[in-house]
Structure 1
Amino acid sequence: MLYHLLYPLHTTLAAFNVFRYITFRTIYASLTAFLICFFLGPWMIRKLREMQVGQYVRDDGPQTHLKKAGTPTMGGTLILVATVASILIWMDLLNFYVWVILMAVVGNGTIGFLDDYLMQVKKRSKGLSARQKLMLQFAVALAVGWMLYQYPGFDTRLTLPFFKKVSPDLGWGYILFAALVITGTSNAVNLTDGLDGLAIGPVIVASVTYMIFAYVTGHVRIAEYLQINYVPNSGEISIFCGILAGSGLGFLWFNAYPAQVFMGDVGSLSLGAAIGTVAVITKQEIMLILVGGLFVIEALSVIFQVGFFKLTKGRRIFRMAPLHHHFELKGWPEPKVIVRFWIISVALALVSLSTLKLR
C-alpha cells in the first residue's frame, strides 16, 4: 500500500525514491511486523485467557510440562495478522509471487485455525483428523504449485546444491513436487513446535537465510555472478522473508521460556508453508534440507520412531519423539534443549549460505 501510494511521488519529491529499494522496504516491513506483534501481543494473550483457550499437556511426556497446562494457545493468529498486514503495507501488490505466498500462508493458517478452534474453543478432543488436515494442506499446496507452473517464464528445473550444471526439468511434475515441499515443511515445523520458542527460533533463522537467497536470485547480475538461477521479480520475496523474521521476533518476545502463549497449529502450519513456498519460488527447494535441517531432523525422528515401533512390536529408538522430548527425558533442562537446537539451526543456515560459492 505505501509502495503504491508513496513511490509514485518520487517524481515530485526525490526522498520518496527510497520506496523503490527492496533493502529499505525489507528493513521497515520487518520492523512493522515486529511492532504489530509487540503491541498487539498483550491484548491477544488476555483475550485468549478470557476465552479459556488453554494448551492441553500430555501426561506421558516430560513431567515438567504439566505446569504449562492452560497456557494460552492459538497465538499464531498474532503472527498471521502481523505478517498479512505488513505485506499489504510494504510489498508490491502487483507482484505475482506476493499473492502466491499469501495463498499459501493464509490457506494453511486457516486450516490450522480451524483445527485449533475445534479443539480449543469447541472443545472437540481431536479437532480435525490427521487425514483431513493433511488433505486440506495438500490441496492448498497443489493450488500454489499449479499457479507457479502456469506463470509465464517460471522455471520447472531443480537447482541442486554444489552442481551448477545439473538441473533436471520436472515439467508438470513440478506441481506435485512443490506441493510435497510445502506440505512437508508445514508439518515439519508443526512437529518441532513442542517447547517454548523452539520452533519460532529456527523459523527466524530460515527466514533470514531465504531473505538472502531471494535477494540474490532476484538480482540478475548477482545471480549471474554466483551462477545460480535468476528468477525475475523474486527479489520482492526478500521483503516477505524480512516480515516473517520480524513477526517471529515479535512473537518470540511472548513465546520465550517460560512462554506466555503458544502458537498452535494456526502458527506452525502457516509458517512452515511460508518457508516451503519461498524455497520453491527462489529455486532453492533442495537447499531447504539444509536451511530447515532442524525441522527435517525432528520430522524424521517421528517417522523413524513410529516405523521402528511398528516393525519391532513395541521397541523404540528414542525415549520419546519428536527428538526434543528425547533429550528432555535424558535430563536436559528445557532451555538447554531450545538454545542448543537454535545453535544447530544457525550452523546449518551458515553452511547453506556457503553453497552460493561452492558450486
Structure 2
Amino acid sequence: MIFGSDNMVGASPRVLAAIQAANEGTAPSYGADPWCAAALAALGEVFERPVQAYFVSTGTVANSLALAALVPPWGAVLCQRDGHVLADESSAPEFFTGGARLVPLAPVAGKLTPEVVAARLANTGHPPHHAVPRALSITQANERGLVYTPDEVAALARCGRGHGLRMHMDGARFANAVASLGCSPAELTWKAGVDVLCLGASKNGALMAEAVVFFDAALARDFEFRVKRAGQMAAKARFFGAQFGAWLADGHWLALAHGANAVAARLAAGLDGVPGVRRVWPVQANEVFVVLPRALGERLRAQGAVFYDWPEDTLPEGQALGAHEMLVRFVASFASRPEDADALIAAAAAAGA
C-alpha cells in the first residue's frame, strides 16, 4: 500500500538492463558516446522534429537551468502558486537564473488560464523598478494531478507570446499526461507553443535521468556552459543516454505511464465508495487527491499505508477541511499493481466501518 511518491520506486527492468549493457567496456566521455547519440535521435523521433537536448540528473536542476536560458536575472517567471518550481525547489530557480523572480498566480479550477495570465501581464508595474515577466511556466501533469490539453497549452502560449514571454513546461510527469490525453508529444509541446520541456524519466522508470529539451535551438545557445557550471556535465553520460534510449524505445515510457495512471484510476474509484472519503480533483494522471476523516488516515498508516498530507490551500475554491479531516495525496508509480490499490481500498473500507 505504498502510494507516497513515484520517486519511491526504482527503475524498470528494461532500463536497468540498458544500464548494465552500457557498463561493459569503455566509451567516450561527456556525452560523446553512441548511447547519448541514439537517445538524442530517439527524442527527435518522439517529438517529430530535431531537438536540442541536454541530460541532467534532477528535475530541480533541469527546471532551473531551463528557466535561466529563458529569463534574465532582472526578469520574472509567471507560474501557478503551488507550482513545483516555486513551492518545492527552494531557491534553486532564483540561484541559477541569477536572481529572476518567480511570480505566483492563482489557478482557476486547478490550472492556470489565459485570463489569469493576461490579468497579471496587464499590470507589470514600472520597469526597471519592477521585474518584467519574461517566461510562463506550467507543470504537466500539474501539482493537483490535472493535465493541460494541447488547446489549453496553446492558449496559454499565445497569451504569453503576445507579451514577449517564452513558455517553459515542467514535465516531471509528462509521460503520464501524454498517456492520459492520448495525443502526441509534439501536439502537447512545440506544436502548442512550448519553447523548452524538462522531460522527466526519474518518476517513470529511470534512476536519475532528466532531459532539457529545446524546440528552438537558438534558446539553447551556450547551454552546455550552464550545464557545466551546475556540475551536471557527467563524465559517464552514457548512462543517461542508455536510460533514455531504453525508456523511449518501443513506447516503453508510455506503457509505464499507462500502468501508473490505470492504478490511480482504480484506487480513486474504490475510495469513492468508502464512507467519509471525498474526491478533491478529477484523476487525470497518476495522482489521487482525497479528503479523509483523520481517524481513517491514521488507521491506514498504522496498517502500513504510505501517502502524503497535502496543503489545505490547494483545495478547490469553496471547499474547506472539517475539524477532523485531512487532505492527502496518493501517487501510483509504474511499479504499482492493481492489487496494491485493491488492498488499500479494502483497508479503508474496513477501517471506515
Same fold (TM over 0.5): no
Query: Whose strand fraction is larger, Structure 1's or Structure 2's?
Result: 2
TM-score, length of structure 1 as denominator length: 0.26
Query: Whose helix fraction is larger, Structure 1's or Structure 2's?
Result: 1
